[in-house]
Amino acid sequence: MRVLFVSPEVFPLVKTGGLGDVAGALPVALQAAGADLRLLMPAYGGTRAATNAKPVAALGDPFGLGETVVLQGRLPGNGLKVWLVDNPALFDRPGGPYQDSDGLDWADNDLRFALLAWAAARLSQPSSPLAWKPDILHGHDWQCGLAGAYLQAWGGPRPGIVFTIHNMAFQGLFPSSLMPRIGLPWSLYTMAGCEFWDQLSYLKAGLVYADRLTTVSPSYAGEIQLPAGGFGLEGVLAERAAILSGILNGADYRIWDPATDGELSRRYGAEEVAAGKAANKAVIQAELGLSADPEATLLVVVSRLSDQKGMDLLLAAIPAALAQGAQLALLGSGERPYEQALLALAEARPTQVAVRIGYSEPLAHRLQAAGDVLVMPSRFEPCGLTQIYALRYGTVPVVRRTGGLADTVVDATYDSMLQGTATGFVFDQPTAAQLQWSLERAIGLYRRRPQWLQLQRQGMAQSFTWEKAAEAYLDLYREIRPVGISVKSSRRAQV
Ligand code: ADP
Ligand code: GLC
């Protein structure tokens, strides 16, 4: 089974959130489970050197922006083969993969991700300049959405197409005038195609031209078929419900395990969780200027600062938790008003609240180890990896019952504590009052150490492995056949 796995971000090369973690780990698990896989992503600045990539094929100049070349390298750490779409005018620039260093979207994201999708489609054709051709083209999020549209437009044999939705809120909407610019025929610009309320939708293209759709948790697969979760595309998804499934993400425990995590002041397993966390907490309190109080419940947040993540709920509920003696340590970046409100809170209560605006992989690990509670009051959450990592670090999650949060955290009730299944605190409605009540429950239980330890250990014993998810994806790949390619003629040489 040859799989071309296309993603706009891949950890450790480029990461803005959970998709980076997924694309850095799922391909490794798929390969280990027997798939023959190539990872395809843009050649952002620095990726060429990091993967030691060399040119293997020229793809021409479809958009008149200079020659596009495919580079082949290896992913650091695991040696997975990675193909970089090299077009310096579009991808080689300082800043993030989607935004400049001031947080503004790149003005040419339409062309950048049309080219990524175009390259994926081109490498999936029998006439691709590379000998290795995929049986399955697996793309992720709107940035890869147009790949199926190109293959539809070009006709002829093609691989089976799987499209994975990581977030319905990001759709890649652009003016329709782009169609000819990126070489797509008007015949695809219809309600049944990639038109969405008079605009070209890269996400909708991903949804309508795939053979199978997946999303990253079973609950989210249901939610996106309803108006509250579909962001206008619920009808398209409900219509395609028969080919839509939710496959829960895994965690890469080689990177997220407190027993081996090189970022921590002190490593620990489930047996030493109390002492291990106390040591990490004392170091973080000193480093962030919080009072050196081992008894204060340390609430941590590692998050994009957005409405999705319920940052308004956090701001409204946190004063009551602070009044009960809790501390808050937050790492995040995103919408300016949230950044400013959080910084103001930290300035007003410097020994109780510490806020770091920015992106820091090491600090994210150290907060997971130091925290007593991870707060994640998301309005919606396709899967969420942060709470899955928190469970492994013995950091008890307080989450809203939505999407992947509902599928991964078990509320601590009298019964679930007795049965030994409780792993965190889960509230139903996205209101400050419900979050506040859940935080109070958490702070209250933290003072009852034997029960708290039980909750931590139950969380640490959970295992959300990529091996399990990879098997589910492979089963799905096996269900679909390439279109117009006989099995015999698709058996080609390897690059
Ligand atoms: P999402 O993808 O919606 O942002 P996830 O919980 O799936 O949410 O994944 C978030 C990932 O990004 C986690 O690996 C988390 O540790 C990381 N992360 C989020 N914000 C930051 C930050 N400011 N600094 C470092 N890592 C962050
Ligand atoms: C998206 C979602 C998040 C999910 C991640 C990886 O960023 O917001 O819930 O965990 O993708 O699938």
For residue 383, which ligand has an atom nearest its CA?
A: 2
* CA 17 to ligand 1 center in whole angstroms: 4
Phi and psi at residue 354, in whole multiples of 5°?
-125, 130
Q: Please give the distance, rounded to the nearest whole angstrom, from the Cα atom of residue 79 to the centre of ligand 1.
A: 24
Measured CA to CA, the distance from residue 434 to residue 428 in angstroms comes to 8
Taking the centre of ligand 2 as the mean of its atom positions, its distance from the CA of residue 299, in whole angstroms, is 22
Predicted confidence at residue 481, as pLDDT, reads 75
Ligand 2, atom 1: closest residue by C-alpha: 166
Mutate which of 19, 386, 391 for ligand 1? The one with the most ligand atoms within 8 Å of its CB, which is 386
List CB contacts of 365: < 8 A, sequence separation 6 or more.
256, 261, 263, 264
d(CA 139, CA 90): 20
DSSP assignment of 59-125:
EE-TTSSS-EEEEEEE-TTT--EEEEEE-HHHH-SSS-SSB-TTSPBPTTHHHHHHHHHHHHHHTTS
Pocket residue to mutate for ligand 2, from 11, 21, 215, 216, most atoms within 8 A of Cβ: 216
Delimiting residues of CATH 3.40.50.2000 domain(s) in the chain: 2-250+467-494, 273-463
What CATH number was assigned to the domain covering residues 273-463? 3.40.50.2000
How far is CA 139 from its chain centroid?
A: 13
Quick count: other Cβ atoms within 10 Å of Cβ 389?
25
Q: How far apart are CA 133 and CA 169, in angstroms?
A: 32
For residue 279, report the distance from its CA to the centre of ligand 1, in Å: 24
Q: Pairing between strand 327-334 and 396-400?
A: unpaired
Q: Whose CA is nearest to atom 20 of ligand 1?
A: 303
What is the structure's pLDDT at 483?
78
- CA distances to 120, 158, 209, 328 from 152, rounded to whole Å, are 13, 9, 7, 51
Ligand 1 pocket, 332 CB below 6 A? yes
Residue from 140, 302, 309, 331 whose mutation best tests the ligand 1 pocket (most atoms within 8 A of CB): 302
**83 CA to centre of ligand 1 in angstroms:** 25
Q: Say what the pLDDT of residue 275 is.
A: 98
Question: How would you label 275-288 residue by residue, b for 16+ Cβ within 10 Å and e otherwise?
Answer: ebbbbbbbbbbeeb
| Ligand 1 and 403: CB distance under 6 A | no
Asked if residues 298 and 369 have their Cβ atoms less than 8 Å apart, the reply is no
d(CA 98, CA 43): 13
Q: Which atom of ligand 1 is nearest to the CA of 332?
A: 23
CA 255–ligand 1 middle distance (angstroms):
14
Q: Integer distance in angstroms from the first to the last C-alpha of the chain?
A: 15
Q: What distance in angstroms lies between residue 65's CA and the mean position of ligand 2's atoms?
A: 32
Per-residue pLDDT tens listing for the chain (495 residues): 999 999 999 999 999 999 999 999 999 999 999 999 999 999 999 999 999 999 999 999 999 999 999 999 999 999 999 999 999 999 999 999 999 988 899 999 999 999 999 999 999 999 999 999 999 999 999 999 999 999 999 999 999 999 999 999 999 999 999 999 999 999 999 999 999 999 999 999 999 999 999 999 999 999 999 999 999 999 999 999 999 999 999 999 999 999 999 999 999 999 999 999 999 999 999 999 999 999 999 999 999 999 999 999 999 999 999 999 999 999 999 999 999 999 999 999 999 999 999 999 999 999 999 999 999 999 999 999 999 999 999 999 999 999 999 999 999 999 999 999 999 999 999 999 999 999 999 999 999 999 999 999 999 999 999 999 999 999 999 999 777 765 444 444 444
Q: Is the CB of 3 under 6 A from ligand 1?
A: no
Cα-to-centroid distance, 384 and ligand 1 (Å): 8
Q: CATH for 2-250+467-494?
A: 3.40.50.2000
pLDDT of residue 485: 64
* Residue 118 one-letter amino acid: W
